[in-house]
Amino acid sequence: MEFSYSQQSLDLQRELQGFYSEHIIPRWRDWQIAIKRNNNPHPNFVDELRTRAKDRGLWNLALPDLQDDQPGTRLSNLDYAPLAEYMGRYHGSSIVFNCQPPDVPNMIALQHDANPEQRKRWLQPLLEGTTRSAFAMTEYSVASSDATNLRTGITREGDSYIVNGHKWFITGAAHPDCEFFIVVGQTDPNANSARQHSTIVVPTATEGVTVSRELSYLGSYDSTAPVGEVHFDNVRVPAENLLGEEGDGFVSGQVRLGPARVHHCMRAIGNCEMLIELMLNRAKERATFGRTINEYDTVQNNIAMSRIEVEQARLLVQKTAWLLDQQGFRGARREVSMIKVAVAQIYHRIADRALHIFGAMGGSDDTPIATSYAWARAFRIGDGPDEVHLRQIYRMEQQPEGELADSPYILPPISAS
């Protein structure tokens, strides 16, 4: 194991931080006021920032398979880690660098599954940052953490597929610029459970597609990729919109979900750093019963435990990114599940500590904590709940051979004689 950053990554870290210092941080408060108080999640300067970032090559940093003729800078997953983490400090800011979910995982899915024609039509505009997309997997009526439950139908009819289903919690679906969905549905309910599902591109503008509302989670709305409830009622799309072959749906999902989870973890760790900084700042200013609260050991312990948890999780995320670079999703599968559980849990805990230290203010919209808390809690469910990943991790443990009674660790009972 040998996970160190390339010189390119080190340079980009410096450059990215410079970009934040110069262009983003001075506007951060205005951006948040626009989102939280003026119902304007995308103020004009965001497009200026995007143009500027793209011009400087701070663009598409999360795509290890970026081609030479595509815009942006190709980086390995490991090299992207510190950049993603920094972006994560400022929730939603990764859109400036075209590194925002769900578009990045969708680009990865299209890189992997789309044919040249499909790439030109759907991938290229995403790479350019001129459009937006969504991945329509989770459904209203079933526990979608077990993907074999998905019931949306994708039925062949001549040169078309007919899509019928009720999806919700579709990140980005409620964004006005969302141009298409990658829909996961059943093409063959009679195939074996791993081959029943397929993915197909459905343009938002198709008849029968309805985004019936924007959804919140614990009162938080996603400002850059608003979450939607989506109905597909007899939606007809050309058969050529199918990605890969019928039955490839689960494989596609895996390809996309690996990096999606890893990036999510990276940003979450950056967000934890922000929360620690806020706790430190609050604790030195606030006083009760004659002491600033940073003199209380519960406060000190909470901050110190957060530090320990972040340091450990970061190393495992880095190792996972490195494994993903070296061995692809197969080789990193266990680690992806481990960081998914670990990071979601520490993020939840750290956000909870920050919430507590900030008293009532922490739950208000005046700090980023309520949003962090909501997304931290959601992360324990989204991308697969804790339980599903723990089950996977358990199953990947190597089972010991032999009987326990023969283990050198176990002494025999004492017999009667």
Residues 391-410 that bind its own copies (CB under 8 A): 391, 393-395, 397, 399-400, 402-404, 407-410
Least Å distance between CB 175 and its own copies? 18
Three-state secondary-structure class, residue 96: helix
- Is 377 a binding residue for its own copies by CB under 8 A? The answer is yes
Q: Which of residues 224-243 bind its own copies (CB under 8 A)?
A: 229, 231, 233
Least Å distance between CB 373 and its own copies? 7
Q: Which is nearer to its own copies, 116 or 412 (CB)?
A: 412
Measured between alpha carbons, how far is 367 from 300 in angstroms, rounded to an integer? 21
Query: Which positions ≥6 away from 204 have C-beta within 8 Å?
Result: 178, 179, 180, 181, 211
Binding part of the chain for its own copies, among 114-122, 215-223, 242-250, 325-333 by CB under 8 A, reads 215-223
Three-state secondary-structure class, residue 197: strand
Query: Which positions ≥6 away from 265 have C-beta within 8 Å?
Result: 313, 317, 320, 339, 340, 343
Query: Which positions ≥6 away from 294 have C-beta within 8 Å?
Result: 280, 283, 284, 300
Least Å distance between CB 415 and its own copies? 6
- Is 205 a binding residue for its own copies by CB under 8 A? The answer is no
- Choose, by CB under 8 A, the member of 115, 191, 311, 331 that binds its own copies: 311
- Is 329 a binding residue for its own copies by CB under 8 A? The answer is no
Size, binding site for its own copies by CB under 8 A: 115
> Are 371 and 91 contacting, i.e. CB atoms less than 8 angstroms apart?
yes
- Choose, by CB under 8 A, the member of 48, 288, 327, 328 that binds its own copies: 288
What the block records as the tokens of 374 is 């909501």
Query: Which positions ≥6 away from 257 have C-beta within 8 Å?
Result: 105, 383, 384
- Choose, by CB under 8 A, the member of 304, 327, 330, 331 that binds its own copies: 304
Q: Which of residues 136-165 bind its own copies (CB under 8 A)?
A: 138, 140, 142-146, 149
No. of helices (H) and no. of strands (E), the chain: 12, 10
Least Å distance between CB 372 and its own copies? 10
